[in-house]
Amino acid sequence: MNTSKSVELFERAQKSIPGGVNSPVRAFKSVGGTPLFMQKAKGAYLYDADGNQYIDYIASWGPMILGHAYEPVVKAIQEKALGSTSFGAPTELEIEMAELIISMVPNVDLIRMVSSGTEACMSAIRLARGYTGRNKIIKFEGHYHGHADSFLVKAGSGVATFNIQTVPGVTAGVANDTLTAAYNDLNAVKKLVAEHKGEIAAIIVEPVAGNMGCILPKPGFHEGLRKLCDEEAIIFIFDEVMTGFRLAPGGAQERLGIKADMVTYGKVIGGGMPVGAFGGKKEFMQHIAPLGNVYQAGTLSGNPIAMIAGYTMLTELKNNPSIYKDLEEKTIYLRDGLNEVLKTWGQPFVINQLGSMISIHFSDHPVVDFASAASANNERFKKYFHAMLNRGVYLPPSAFESWFLNNALTKEDLDKTIQATKESLQEL
């Protein structure tokens, strides 16, 4: 593949943007090589600055669940922009968006829009602390809830990719209020709760982890967390920035049948535009300003362009629930095809999959938490990533990320991906 334009652009980008990117995971640092600069995308395909086409398994890290440049979303944005791109005043569309979300997800009476998943998770934690009067939170190693200080403790995604143990700038005071446990280790959580009785405001969890590859909850894990939160009056927060509107219309709460106290959203909810949200029972949400004193705000929260993109996307998903069945069938087809070719290879591997989230780990043991994801042969993943890229398949540039399927993928695309994997094996 000729990627000389991306090489030139990356050189130039580094002169004006830290690391040449506006988000670290895009820099290909963990897989090596030059990040590809994208020029456009349509459906399941990305087109880089050199005009090369790639089958897309990032889907903008989740949002593009219906494929890129989805017609109804594009049209809605074009139209809405003619009536201004922002007011800084309430609009009817924000009410319609909130009502639509509340109609789709369980256990949410009130919801507040923000502009990113980070803001959603940061606000949910502040609300949990404000409501309980407690300071500490429990998060899980390898889980990523955005880049707010409280979350940059043993975090996943780019923090794990770059193996950043403690993030400079996060004060000891803040870090001390973030307790961590291994995902799927209920006893470790029980121990933390016993050691810090009455001090823990919230447990925040990626219900299906996606920031250390895709890692499923063990049976009983979330049920155990729910019970613990009920017993200790701890707020149970589902970070559904990735899983929301992807695993089911009602997200992981619906798919797993677990009731969270608060839920955060991002990605799909904005249809590719900057949107996040946090919501929950009135009992909690009524403490958010201006109703209550837990202050939270944003100039562009509920922005009309972002709202119309998200509203159009969610309406499509709500009115066509068969999309979820199609997406899951495509992901299972891919999983089984990859399994077939990888089995003939004779080297250890694990494929984790739920709904339209999937990841391959070159590991000889099950990948159930950060330690087992980190101890996989991730050098092999780097080779796999580039071997696939050279064959026109764009995977997330890190072993610590889930792949995200979009519904524009055809069986032919999936077969090409399976074939590209088969051809790549001798390069690993």
Residues assigned a catalytic role:
144, 239, 267
* Closer residue to ligand KE4, CB minimum distance, 49 or 212: 212
Amino acid at the residue 406: N
CB nearer to ligand KE4: give 264 or 312: 264
How far apart CA 278 and CA 206 sit, in angstroms, is 14
DSSP state letters, 67-128: -BT-HHHHHHHHHHHTT-S--SS--HHHHHHHHHHHHHSTT-SEEEEESSHHHHHHHHHHHH
Nearest 5°: the CA angle 56, 409, 407 is 105
Task: Report in angstroms how near the CB of residue 19 gets to ligand KE4 at its nearest.
Answer: 12
Is the separation of the CB atoms in 249 and 318 below 8 Å? yes
Pick the closer one to ligand KE4 by CB: 48 or 239: 239
Q: What are the φ and ψ backbone dihedral angles of 101, each rounded to 5 degrees?
A: -60, -45
Which uninterrupted H or E stretch holds 341? helix 322-345
Q: In the complex, what is the shortest distance from the CB of residue 210 to ligand KE4, in angstroms, rounded to a whole number?
A: 6
Q: Of residues 28, 37, 61, 362, which one binds ligand KE4 by CB under 6 A?
A: 61
**Residue 107 engages ligand KE4 in binding (rule: CB under 6 A):** no
Q: Is 401 in the site for ligand KE4 (CB under 6 A)?
A: yes
Q: Identify which of residues 67 and 158 has a Cβ nearer to ligand KE4 in the complex.
A: 158
CB 399 within 8 A of CB 376: yes
Considering the rule CB under 6 A, would residue 424 count as an interface residue with ligand KE4? no
**Coil vs helix vs strand at 37:** coil
Backbone phi and psi for residue 203, each to the nearest 5 degrees, phi listed first: -115, 125
In whole angstroms, the minimum distance from the beta carbon of 279 to ligand KE4 comes to 15
Q: Is 301 in the site for ligand KE4 (CB under 6 A)?
A: no
Residues ≥6 apart with Cβ < 8 Å to 354: 208, 214, 216, 247, 255
Least Å from the CB of residue 61 to ligand KE4: 4
The yes or no reply on residue 18 touching ligand KE4 (CB under 6 A) is no
Nearest residue to ligand KE4 by CB is: 117
Could you say whether residue 145 binds ligand KE4 (CB under 6 A)? yes
Please count the residues of this chain forming the interface with ligand KE4, following the rule CB under 6 A. 21
Reading phi first (left if > 0) and then psi (alpha if -120 to 50, else beta), residue 17 is in beta
Structure tokens at 145: 């809830």
Nearer to ligand KE4, 25 or 260 (CB): 25
Provide the minimum distance between the beta carbon of 119 and ligand KE4 in the complex, in angstroms, as a whole number. Answer: 7
- Residue 23 as a binder of ligand KE4 (CB under 6 A): the answer is yes
Assign 417 to helix, strand or coil. Answer: helix
In the stretch 321-360, what mask flags binding to ligand KE4 with x, by CB under 6 A?
----------------------------------------
Query: Cα separations (Å) of 17 from 9, 39, 139, 375?
Result: 11, 18, 31, 33
Stretch that binds ligand KE4, among 2-10, 204-212, 227-235, 292-300 (CB under 6 A): 204-212
Residues in 227-266 that interact with ligand KE4 by CB under 6 A: 239, 241-242, 266
Q: Is 141 in the site for ligand KE4 (CB under 6 A)?
A: no
State which residue, 116 or 372, has the beta carbon closest to ligand KE4: 116
Cis bond upstream, residue 168 (ω within 30): no
Residue 206 within binding range of ligand KE4, rule CB under 6 A: yes
Which residue from 265, 268, 291, 295 is spatially nearest to 280, judged by alpha carbons?
265
Interface residues toward ligand KE4, by CB under 6 A: 23, 25, 61, 116-118, 121, 144-146, 157-158, 206, 210-211, 239, 241-242, 266, 276, 401
